[in-house]
Chain A
Amino acid sequence: MTTVLLVEDHTAFAQALTAVMGLTDDLEVVGHAHTAEDAEVLGSRLSVDVAVIDLDLPIASGVDVLNNMRDRPAAPRCVVLTASTDPAELGRAVEAGAGAVLHKSTDMAELLDVVRRVAAGDTVLPADQTSSWLRALAAERERTWQARTVGATLTARESQILQLLADGHGGGAIAEQLVISGQTVQTHVRNLLGKLGVGSRLEAVALGLRLGIIEQADHDR
């Protein structure tokens, strides 16, 4: 008998999965954790062969659960079952040691089959999908790194002005808001354009948003 721990915040879905696995002779759900903390407690208390983990959990994410499980002495095998389609997030799950990554729309028969195969020690990761997820993850890290590098070169004032530009303010409005002269605003803008290596305010805002140095303007005002 393969013991299964469900880490899923949707109780109804967890119960449905418990019912589905209850119909089989070889799979048994021994626990249901709603959060990453629950999973840690249950994981240490129960003897679990396979953990079926949702990535989108309240507080800590499913990737934290994966990392936590991997570091245990008798580490259970992990199947990620998620509604997420964010390739970078799926890439993180693969990196954290998931034996399989499935979407929640997967057919029940297929899900059961994958759980059995992962319990037997297989890794069920389609090569092409996995590589595209990992590429997305690498690209995301690259962006974060760039943002950190570029963000570090901007002064606090320049970041502030870039944010105000993103909020749709013109030079005059910025000068008024920061209580500095229009000339000073111009100088700051020129400097930050130079640092970002762009030719216009529009490009600077676009780059800032892409790199996450600034936030999207609040449009509901």
Chain B
Amino acid sequence: MALQCLASTTGSALTATPAQLGHTVRRDMVVTAVVLTVLFCVLAVLPGLQLAVDSPSARVALEALRLCVVGFAALILGLPAEQHPSIARNAFVAALVVIAAASALLGVVPSVAAEILGTTPAGVDRFYPWLASRYIAGLLFVSAGLQWPRLSLRAYVVASLLLLAAAELALFDVTAPRRALGASLEVPPLLLFALGAWLAARRAARSGAPLERWLALALLVGTFTQLQAIRQPEILGSVVTTTDVLRMISTLLLLIGAASQVRQMSRDSVGTVHLQRRDLEERDALVNALGGYVAREEAFRAVVHHELATPVATIRAYAHVLRSAPPADDRWTNALGGIVSEAEQLHALIGRVDELRDLELGAFSCTLRPVRALPLLRDIARFATTLSGQHHVHVRADDLRINADPVRLGQALRNVAANAVRYSPDGGRIDLIGEAVGADRYRLVVVDQGVGVDVDETGAVLAFAGRGRNAAAVEGRGIGLFIARRIAEAHNGHIDIEPNEPIGTRVSIEVERR
């Protein structure tokens, strides 16, 4: 019943919560303990039901079966141990090896040898060698529960076998003790098995590992087996007793534990491989997508560079031609000046399209030289006037030299001025102010009477693609101020944006004075 109950829950153990897991493990243990107690009581009341069959062949068959089961369990669990190291499993496998070795050396081999040679089997009727194997196995099961000492599988197996061999050599010829002593000597393995069962159940409740669950049950059976061994002392030799049958059951439970653990390990590793493969495929797709973006950006740059270069060159060539013709009047000269100036600007910017990439990489550089601030601001004023046609643009500046890249700084100021035009009502006033700050700095300020900016979002609007709440109604990408910020930084300066009192926005770019 307990087995069925367990078999039905093992599959779902992986998905259970720790509380559910604890409950399941406890329930299995209690059910098994109740079944065994009932069995124990029945055997106590009706001692006649206790087995005591003197059959050398049955005994050898039982030992051989035990050897096969334990050996198989040790093998399937021990082989993958190298790939999935676990202290608990190392100790457990060593215990299986000890049980198998005892079965082989004390049961199967002597019996078969005696059968062939026609003599009495040596060791089968010895009490202490069997007892020693139970002590060692009990210690190893406790060690598995404690996960201590932290030894490799090989170290565990070798140490256990050496211990077993030493015990066998020392105790081989010691004759069986009297009944009372024999029974009391079975008590320590009983305690070890009980402790091992408790530790395994506790670990199973935490980890849900099938091996721990079945080990706990096997050791519980082992504990009752010891009780039975105390009550019905070993009848040595070729007699098969209830104790032997119980030991066989416990051994089978160990095999089930080993098999389900191996099954889960292989399921886990298949799952891991699956996940890794999916991960790799996703990464591949991501790399491809990124490659696509990079390629598209590169294509865009090439288009800007290549396709715009020729029209701009054409404008500049015609401007060159017009310049050498006699000027008609002032309007003509101004118009030509505008064409030339904007074509130069466009040309300079196209030449720097490559640097768009560097902008992101932080490798944004400017060629700084002494530049007069006043003409620069007047140029921006002209730009703002042309752009708007409706705003009143005023320039007020200390005519000092600053350390600047005129094209770049002009670009930054144009971006700021374009924002001032865009975000303030027609007919509004825009002030372009240039003022010395201390002995070696200069501040270029653009003040508008527009929608303004909130104090808490001044940082955000200077970030890439950042836009203020008040800007939502106006079309824009939030890149202009970001570029202006990078340009200001490349001028060893900074840009600040703040609300202007009583209305509008005040953007100031501070750079070095020359």
Interface residues of A (CB under 8 A from B): 10, 12-13, 16-17, 19-20, 23, 56, 83-85, 103-105, 108-109, 165-171, 201-202, 205-206, 209, 216-217, 219
The smallest beta-carbon distance between B296 and chain A, in angstroms, is: 8
B contact residues, total (Cβ < 8 Å): 32
Task: Let me know if B310 and A10 touch, CB within 8 A.
Answer: yes
**Is B357 among interface residues, defined by CB-CB distance under 8 A?**
no
- Asked if B295 and A16 make an inter-chain contact with CB atoms under 8 angstroms apart, the answer reads no
A19 touching B277, Cβ below 8 Å: no
Most buried by B among A56, A84, A167, A168: A168
Segment of B103-111, B202-210, B239-247, B281-289 engaged in the interface with chain A: B281-289
Contact: A170 with B277, CB < 8 Å? yes
Q: Which chain B positions have C-beta within 8 A of A12?
A: 311, 314
A216 touches B310 (CB 8 A): no
Docked complex Cα distance between A103 and B278 (Å) = 48
Evaluate contact between B281 and A17: CB separation under 8 angstroms. no
Q: Is B309 an interface residue (CB 8 A)?
A: yes
CA gap between A219 and B277 in the complex, in Å: 22
Check A85–B305 contact: CB distance below 8 A.
yes
| Residues of A with C-beta under 8 A to B350 | 105
Contact of B150 with A by CB under 8 A: no
A13 cross-chain contacts in B, Cβ below 8 A: 310-311, 313-314, 317
Q: Which of A20, A56, A168 meets B306, CB within 8 Å?
A: A56
Q: Which residues of A contact B320 (CB under 8 A)?
A: 20, 23, 108-109
* A216 x B309 contact (CB < 8 A): no
Q: Chain B residues near A17 (CB, 8 Å)?
A: 317
Residues in B lying within 8 Å of A, measured CB to CB: 277-278, 280-281, 283-285, 287-289, 291-292, 295, 305-307, 309-314, 316-318, 320-321, 324, 347, 350-351, 354
Give the distance in Å from the alpha carbon of A167 to the alpha carbon of B314 in the complex.
Answer: 42
In the complex, the answer to whether B312 meets A202 with C-beta atoms within 8 Å is no
Minimal beta-carbon separation of A104 from chain B (angstroms):
4
Q: A219 contacts which chain B residues (CB < 8 A)?
A: 288-289, 292
Q: Which residues of A contact B277 (CB under 8 A)?
A: 170-171
- Which residue in chain B gives the minimum CB-CB distance to A56? B306
Contacts of B347 on A, CB cut-off 8 Å? 105
Are B321 and A202 closer than 8 Å at their CB atoms?
A: no
Most buried by B among A10, A13, A105, A202: A105
Minimum C-beta distance from A59 to chain B (A)? 17
Q: For the complex formed, measure the closest distance between the CB of B168 and the CB atoms of chain A, giving whole angstroms.
A: 50
Question: Contacts A12-B314, A20-B321, A108-B316: A216 and B295 contacting too (C-beta < 8 A)?
Answer: yes
Q: B317 near A19 (CB under 8 angstroms)?
A: yes
Alpha-carbon distance A168/B290, docked complex (angstroms): 12
**Shortest distance between the CB of A175 and any CB in chain B (Å):** 13
Closest 8 CB pairs of A and B: A16-B317, A83-B309, A219-B292, A104-B313, A108-B320, A170-B281, A168-B285, A13-B314
Kindly list chain B residues whose C-beta atoms are within 8 Å of the C-beta of A103: 309
Kindly state the separation between the CA atoms of A171 and B273 in the bound complex, as whole angstroms. 13
Instruction: Identify which of B281, B321, B324, B351 contacts A16 (C-beta below 8 A).
Output: B321
> Which of A12, A165, A171: most chain B Cβ within 10 A?
A12
Query: Can you spell out 9 A-B residue pairs with CB atoms less than 8 angstroms apart?
Result: A16-B314, A17-B317, A23-B320, A83-B309, A83-B313, A105-B347, A168-B288, A202-B283, A205-B284
